[in-house]
Amino acid sequence: MQQKKSFFIKIIALFIVPKKKLLILCKTSGTYLKILTNDKNMIDETKDGLTQSALARLADVSVTTISRYMSSHSFKPLDTSLNKNQRYSMMDSRQVVRNFILKKGSEIKKKKFAFYNFKGGTGKTSLCYQVASHTAFMGFKVLVIDADPQGHLSTSYGFSNDTNFFTLYDFLIRKIKFDDVKKNIFEGFDCIPSNLSLTRLEVELNQLPKREERFSIELSEIEKDYDFIFIDTNPTISILNRNVITFSEVINVVCETQPYSLNGLKLLMEDLERFYSHMNIKPRDLNIIPNKYEDRASSSAEAMTALREYYGPYIKEDFAIRRSEDINTSAKLGKPLALFAKKNSIALEDIIELTRYFLTKYIG
């Protein structure tokens, strides 16, 4: 009995007092139980890279085309000792993909995207993480902003909630310089992370003039340095989210293909219309992204039918993000799908299709 009690205390201590890379081995009934903290490594530019297969999918060309291009331009893999599945640096990968997808004279028409829904659990953080990361893989200069005090997006990029770092609160309220607030993920890809300190921001914003426009005012000089800015929002109707909506040009509403999500979507659309009218601003471009679709679930099929009937103009034709364990695995690993997913991954297929849809729609 005493052994069981001691074992229980060890586990509780492990989760109450987080430590970096803490490992405990507990011997029970002749076996060892290994327990790890949830700390994850950020993308490592010296080790993480993209294979030719991944580059071909991102660029929407054949592997042979990528292989010939890499050879003709003398790109070298990160590990020259490997004969198969060679990976190329982030810098080289970004240059290669951008060459194929960005036509000369192209202009980015809309660059500021919010992933939004005041219902939790729809998957907006996961989609923001994947779309922002893969847009950066494609050679664009990207800023991703975590505007959710829960900090799940930040955790996926390797920023632990118990670590002290600057957030939007420091940038908007304390006037900390942007260069001191942003975190670099890899070349061409920056992040403003979040943690629980962001909960203080709501009260502070309420006391400021033009409280719904502070985001736009403070970021006006910074946005020109990026091709795209992606923002993950918190699942509430808050002043911070009002700031994000005012700042953004595109609102991506992530909706589960379930009945309860459809009910919430009607309320969300009505709330957006009232806010646009109250602020006397032009309605933002709207995309509704059906998420967690299951082919064999009748509820998913019924939800998709209703979405097409009532919100057809806002939905990409014949498209939904299918439910896949790869999305959860990506969050746990702290690695976007293109860095680890297999060739037949439906999650990677859907994310690349969604990312390319945005690029096609908003680059002219």
Count up the domains in the chain and report the number.
3
What pLDDT does residue 104 have?
83
Q: What is the H or E stretch that residue 353 is in?
A: helix 346-362
Evaluate if residue 79 carries a pLDDT over 60: yes
Tell whether 255 and 137 lie within a shared domain. Answer: yes
Interaxial angle between packed helices 90-101 and 63-72, expressed in degrees from 0 to 180 and rounded to the nearest 10 = 120
Q: Say yes or no: 218 and 302 in one domain.
A: yes
Average pLDDT over residues 325-351: 96
Shared domain check, 234 and 138:
yes
Beta-carbon contacts of 74 under 8 Å, excluding residues fewer than 6 positions away, are none
Query: What's residue 151's pLDDT?
Result: 94
Does one domain contain both 274 and 149? Answer: yes
270-280 burial code (b ≥16 CB/10 A, e <16): eebeebeeeee
C-alpha–C-alpha distance, residues 256 and 240, integer Å: 23
67 within a domain of the structure (yes/no)? yes
Same domain? 323 vs 198: yes
Which residues are CB-neighbours of 170 under 8 A, at least 6 positions away? 176, 181
Q: What is the mean predicted confidence (pLDDT) over 216-224?
A: 95
- Domain containing residue 353: CATH number: 3.40.50.300
| Residue 71 to residue 91: CA distance in whole angstroms | 16
- In this prediction, residues 314-320 reach a mean pLDDT of 97
- The answer to whether position 41 is within a domain reads no
Q: Are residues 73 and 120 in the same domain?
A: no
Distances in Å between the Cα of 69 and the Cα atoms of 62, 188, 224 are 11, 22, 31
DSSP-assigned letter for residue 84 = S
- Could you read off the pLDDT of 124-140 as tens digits, one per residue? 999 999 999 999 999 99
Is the predicted pLDDT of residue 309 greater than 50, yes or no? yes
Same domain, 180 and 88: no
| Domain-embedded: residue 254 | yes
- The DSSP secondary structure of 278-305, one letter per residue, reads HHT-PPPEEEEEEESB-TT-HHHHHHHH
Which structural domain, as residue segments, surrounds residue 133? 112-362
pLDDT bucket at 20, cuts 50 / 70 / 90:
very low
My answer on whether 128 and 180 are in the same domain is yes
Q: Who has greater pLDDT, 46 or 151?
A: 151
322: DSSP letter: B
Which pLDDT belongs to residue 5? 43
Chain mean pLDDT for the chain: 88
Flag whether 13 is in a domain. Answer: yes
Tokens of 140: 């664009």
Q: What is the DSSP letter of 334?
A: T
Q: Tell me which residue of 78, 79, 75, 105 sits closest to 92, measured CA to CA.
A: 75
Task: Answer for the pair 49, 90: CB distance below 8 angstroms, yes or no.
Answer: yes
Tell me whether residue 44 is in a domain. Answer: no
Domain-located, residue 229 = yes
pLDDT confidence band for 81 (50 / 70 / 90): confident
Residues 244 and 258: their CA atoms lie apart, in Å, by 26
pLDDT at 6: 42
Predicted confidence at residue 12, as pLDDT, reads 38
Residue 43, in any domain of the structure: no
DSSP string, 187-251: TTEEEE---GGGGGHHHHHHTSTTGGGHHHHHHTTTGGG-SEEEEEEPSS--HHHHHHHHH-SEE
Mean pLDDT of 220-249: 96
Domain-ending residue, one of 64, 82, 101 = 101
pLDDT band at 94 (very low <50, low <70, confident <90, very high): very high
Q: Is the pLDDT of residue 218 over 60?
A: yes
Residues 6+ apart with CB under 8 A from 287: 250, 251, 252, 253, 314, 315, 316, 358
Separation of alpha carbons 24 and 10, rounded Å: 9
Angle CA(184)–CA(232)–CA(329) in degrees, nearest 5? 75
How far apart, in whole angstroms, are the C-alpha atoms of residue 121 and residue 111?
A: 25
Report whether pLDDT(42) > 80: no
